Amino acid sequence: MEADHNVDIGGAAAAAAEGAPVTSRWNPTKEQISMLEGLYMQGIRTPSAEQIQQITSRLKAYGHIEGKNVFYWFQNHKARQRQKQKQESMAYINRYFHRTPQPIFAPNCPNVICSPYYLPQSDIGFYPQYHHPKVLLPGGIRRRPRTEKQEKSRAFDDDAPVHMAGNSQETLPLFPLHPTGNLHGETGKSSIGSSSAMNSTNTRSFSDQVEEGSGDQLFFDFFSGEGSSESG
C-alpha cells in the first residue's frame, strides 16, 4: 500500500483534462523500453497476468502505462524479433544456396540458425516460460513442440474482477485482453474513469458491431423472444 497517489488513473483522461494531446496510443519512455527489453532478454516471452501486472506497476513509475501495453509490447516484440530472424535466416540460406553446392542437408544442419540475439549460452534454458529455441525456417517446417502438455498456459481469470471492492488506490489495470471486444465506443478514450461510457455513441464504422442504438434493440429483442419461449 504505497502512497501511489499519483497513479494517474487514467493517463489519457487526465492528459485530456490537462490539455495534453490525449495520447491515443501508448508512448513508451526510454526507461520503460529498457526494462521491457531486459525482461525479454531474460527470456520472458509471454508474461502471465501476474507478471504483466507487476511489470505494469513498476513501469508506471516511468510514465503512464497499462497492462495492455505491456501485453502488446511483448506480443509485438516477440513477433518482430522472430520476423527479423526469419529474414536473416532466409538471407543466410539464400546466400548459402547461391554460393555452395548444396550439401544436401549436411550433417551440420545449417538451417539451425537459432538465436539472433538472445539464445542461451549453452543449456541455461530454464526460463519460467517457454523459450523453445525454435529454429524458424524460412517458410516451411512448422514446429510444434508445444504438444508436450502445455504448462497449462495462462488463460483468463474467469470473470473475476469484482474482488477488489473499495480499494481505489490500485485500480488494477486488469489489462486488456482480448482482441476485439471492447468497449464502449468513443468515450472509451477516457477509459478509466472507469469505464464507462456514459453514452457511447457508436463505433459502428468498420467492422462489425451493431450500432449500439438499434443494435441493442435487436439484441434484447432476441433475448426477450428466446428467453420467454425457450426452455424447451
151, 127 in Cβ contact below 8 A?
no
Partner residues linked to 157 by β-bridges: 159
Q: Which stretch, 82-90, 94-102, 134-142, 157-165, contacts a second copy (CB under 8 A)?
A: 157-165
14, 47 in Cβ contact below 8 A?
no
Q: Which stretch, 81-89, 96-104, 112-120, 144-152, contacts a second copy (CB under 8 A)?
A: 144-152
Partner residues linked to 159 by β-bridges: 157
Q: What is the distance between the alpha carbons of residues 176 and 156, in angstroms, rounded to a whole number?
A: 11
Task: Return the residue of 34, 42, 54, 76 that touches DNA, per CB under 7 A.
Answer: 76
215, 209 in Cβ contact below 8 A?
yes
Sign of CA dihedral 160, 67, 54, 82: positive
78, 163 in Cβ contact below 8 A?
no
121 binds a second copy (CB under 8 A): no
Orientation angle between helical segments 67-99 and 49-59, nearest 10 degrees: 100
123, 102 in Cβ contact below 8 A?
no
144 binds DNA (CB under 7 A): yes
Angle at 174 between CA 182 and CA 179, to 5 degrees: 35
Smallest gap from Cβ 222 to DNA, in A, equals 18
123 binds a second copy (CB under 8 A): no
What residues between 8 and 37 interact with DNA by CB under 7 A? 21-28, 33
Q: How many residues does the chain have?
A: 232
Number of residues that bind DNA (CB under 7 A): 44
What residues between 14 and 73 interact with a second copy by CB under 8 A? 24, 31, 34-35, 38-39, 42-56, 58, 61, 66-68, 71
Q: Which is nearer to DNA, 166 or 179 (CB)?
A: 179
Task: Return the residue of 6, 108, 122, 207 that touches DNA, per CB under 7 A.
Answer: 207
Q: Which is nearer to a second copy, 97 or 222 (CB)?
A: 222
Site string for DNA, 42-61 (x = CB under 7 A): ---xx---------------
209 binds a second copy (CB under 8 A): yes
Task: Return the residue of 129, 133, 137, 138 that touches a second copy, per CB under 8 A.
Answer: 129
79 binds DNA (CB under 7 A): yes
Binding site partner of 211, from DNA, a second copy, none, Cβ cut-off 5-8 A by kind: a second copy
Q: What is the distance between the alpha carbons of residues 41 and 208, in angstroms, rounded to a whole number?
A: 38
Task: Return the residue of 142, 160, 162, 163 that touches DNA, per CB under 7 A.
Answer: 142
The backbone torsions φ and ψ at residue 52, rounded to the nearest 5 degrees and listed phi first, read: -55, -40
